[in-house]
Structure 1
Amino acid sequence: MDVQKDKQPSAADMISLLETNIVCTVSHIEELQAYEGRNFYLRIVKSEQDQCDYIGNLTEFVVKVTKCEEMRESKWKSLKKILNCLLHCGFTSTKLLSTYKMEKNGIVYLVLLLNYIPGSPLMYHWSKLDKTMVIKQMGEMVANLHNTLQTLDPSLFAEEKDEENAWVLENASVMLDYLIAIKDEKEREIIDSIIKQFIYLMEQNGEHFKKGIIHGDLHEMNLIVNWKDGQLQPHCHSSGNHTVKDLFGIIDFSSMCVSCYIYEVGQIICDFMVSTCPDNCYSVAVTFLSGYLKCRNLNQHELSILFISIMTTLCQYYVIREHKFHGQTNNEYATLGAKKAYHLIMAYHNMTDIFMSNLSKFLQNDFNIDLKNS
């Protein structure tokens, strides 16, 4: 039993909250997978007395429940501005419609009401899709997303910097304190070495890394897709040409922060590697980069830290899970990828030179980027 979730607001609490605030009848509600906190999908039947302009004609929603201390008012207000900007720029992203506060068991929670993007997470469709095509398309979409986010003022999150958040890659040193949760001494030494190498390279070259607002949690569960005949279908139904922005519905921006774009690139490649091709890290990386580099440049310093960024992300999956969720064996989403991450750490930790040599050849041949002189 996940005791922590049992103490949080439940489906019944959400029904009561929304039927009171929107003046509607909730006809269906179901809990969605979540690493922490709780997420719910729901459908409503609107009342004739409903006067909530902010929901318009919508009848399907997602509600996200988080502790108020984990998302201050300044953050969700910034999120609302950024999401509106992304929608204006043609991305298929969720929209923050409203927020509510509620108390349960002495804790104040923030409830975010979001529009529902039809489809289902990319995670459930890999076996039906052309993986190479989708990963390349994802590279293009992320590059476009980073280009747009880089135009926004990072001060939107000036108050939100959390140096203790181990999920933010430049806070990797926090994981060193978590290594006590890793009982095997050999494993601990390998992971310690990876994290310290990343910290060293970050300190040596960090001034060369482009930085700005990033999504912060852009993985296959936060990408909503529709598919047909092995290909992704656009979310928009208007006639005309479609772009990669139309193929991926982006959700869950609650981890949005200011960070280095190359770190998010490494995290996304890592997630795709775990999900689609654990035997060939290089193949996933070059496929993603072949899409990304068409739309956005990465400099030599950024590309040189890519492999160790991927490895440090694998360490995040494994170490944070062991530290934070030790004993919660039935928390399937919390353990998702952790076992694979462990095996990949053990398989790849000595392959830096091979990966970088192959990456260097690809970059030279396809994009005329010379890593050897970086």
Structure 2
Amino acid sequence: MHGAIERVSRAGIATSRPVRTKTGNQFEIVPIHSKTGSEYRFLVRLFEYVPGEVLEDKPYTAPLCYQVGRLGGRLDNALLDYRPPELMGHSRHWNLRLAGSIADQTYVIKDAGRRTLILEVVRKFQTNVLDRGELLRRGTIHGDLNEGNIIVRKENLNHPDTCGDSCTNETYVVHGILDFGDLVYEYHVFEVAIAITYIMIETKHGIDPVDAGGHVLAGYLGECPLPAEDLRVVKDCVTARLAQSLTYGAMAHHKDPSNTYCLRTSVRGWPLLKELWDMPESELYKRWNRTLKTYGIDAIKNLL
């Protein structure tokens, strides 16, 4: 993880870098004794502070969504040749690949129609993405571009390359990224699909969630173009992430009914998943293509 952070930092992306200890290490193992005399050993490390605020609850605008996509593309470019042995073949609980394995967890979803929807999404994800994975481009990805990990700050500016024509005297701009705990060697399309998913869920006012996803895609492709095979499965990956998040949330609540925080995605997530699932891919890509064209990007025109 520390190697990835250093590469991202060298690429000019603000992130919390580890501060070395007095002995030059990136962390120390510290023994602490309890009152009863038992010894416990803790890993201790210190990270630099990144000024700003998290994206959560900020007003989502088209320029801000575009910048989120750019951040994802810049991250993947910075990590393009980063392949540490410990990441090869390694997975994480929130790895999007594991959305293909959630079918046996759907019993915690009480509504039969919703259970069926999740199973349909998973089957399509397995067929179109996982079973054809050899056709998709892979690399090390951040794996969790959500509103709680993206740092924004207020700026007084009017530069078209960062905020387009929608800037006011003061606007939020993407500043940096936190939390490399879900770092994984996976398909690049997972990175942009995850970012699109969380932006869509959190978009509440001023911009349609589907259109917001188009701005994220434009920002990503402007930095890190994807092959046609990858672009064809963006929708499948977005719906799979929604299904994964909704199922994980339902499972967490099933295990601990007092934990209502884990259901926060469900309020907007279920309607969004149904909307996307019912929307023909041709219609979705036409909408996104119109958005991409405003940035001079024609990457998906051949998919229409």
TM-score (norm 1): 0.65
Conserved in 2, the CA contact under 8 Å of 1:219 and 1:268?
Answer: yes
Does 1:134 pair with 2:64?
A: yes
Q: CA 1:108–1:219 in structure 2 vs 1: closer, same or farther (change >3 Å)?
A: farther
Unmatched runs of 5 consecutive residues or more in structure 1 = 1-78, 233-245
Amino acid corresponding to residue 220 of structure 2 in structure 1: Y
Partner residue in 2 for 1:356: 285
Partner residue in 2 for 1:125: 58
Amino acid corresponding to residue 15 of structure 2 in structure 1: S
Shift of 1:326: 2.5
Amino acid corresponding to residue 336 of structure 1 in structure 2: R
Amino acid corresponding to residue 239 of structure 2 in structure 1: M
Match of 1:206 among 123, 128, 133: 133
Shift of 1:188: 0.4
Amino acid corresponding to residue 180 of structure 1 in structure 2: Y
Match of 2:229 among 301, 309, 330: 301
Q: CA 1:273–1:108 in structure 2 vs 1: closer, same or farther (change >3 Å)?
A: farther
Give the SS at the match of 2:140: strand
Alignment of 1:20-39 (within 5 A): none
Does 1:91 pair with 2:13?
A: yes
Matched residues in 2 for 1:231 and 1:370: separation? 29
Alignment of 1:318-357 (within 5 A): 318-326=246-254, 328=256, 331=259, 333-353=261-281, 354-357=283-286
Shift of 1:304: 0.8
RMSD, aligned CA: 3.1
Q: For this pair of structures, how many residues does the alignment match?
A: 277
1:37-92 residue CA offsets vs partner (Å, 9 max, x unmatched): xxxxxxxxxxxxxxxxxxxxxxxxxxxxxxxxxxxxxxxxxx11221222222210
Identity fraction in percent: 21
Matched residues in 1 for 2:303 and 2:10: separation? 40
Q: CA 1:230–1:212 in structure 2 vs 1: closer, same or farther (change >3 Å)?
A: same
Matched residues in 2 for 1:109 and 1:185: separation? 45
Matched residues in 1 for 2:68 and 2:196: separation? 10
Partner residue in 1 for 2:122: 195
Q: CA 1:151–1:230 in structure 2 vs 1: closer, same or farther (change >3 Å)?
A: same
Shift of 1:120: 1.7
Shift of 1:265: 0.5
Partner residue in 2 for 1:5: none
Matched residues in 2 for 1:274 and 1:339: separation? 9
Q: CA 1:373–1:253 in structure 2 vs 1: closer, same or farther (change >3 Å)?
A: closer
Query: Which moved further from structure 2: 275-284 or 170-179?
Result: 275-284
Partner residue in 2 for 1:9: none
Match of 2:238 among 285, 310, 324: 310
Conserved in 2, the CA contact under 8 Å of 1:166 and 1:172?
Answer: no
Give the SS at the match of 1:213: strand
Q: CA 1:331–1:106 in structure 2 vs 1: closer, same or farther (change >3 Å)?
A: farther
Q: CA 1:84–1:368 in structure 2 vs 1: closer, same or farther (change >3 Å)?
A: closer
1:255-283 residue CA offsets vs partner (Å, 9 max, x unmatched): 11111110110110110111115883431
Q: CA 1:131–1:230 in structure 2 vs 1: closer, same or farther (change >3 Å)?
A: farther
Shift of 1:100: 4.1
Q: Which has the higher strand share?
A: 1
Unmatched runs of 5 consecutive residues or more in structure 2 = 20-26, 160-172
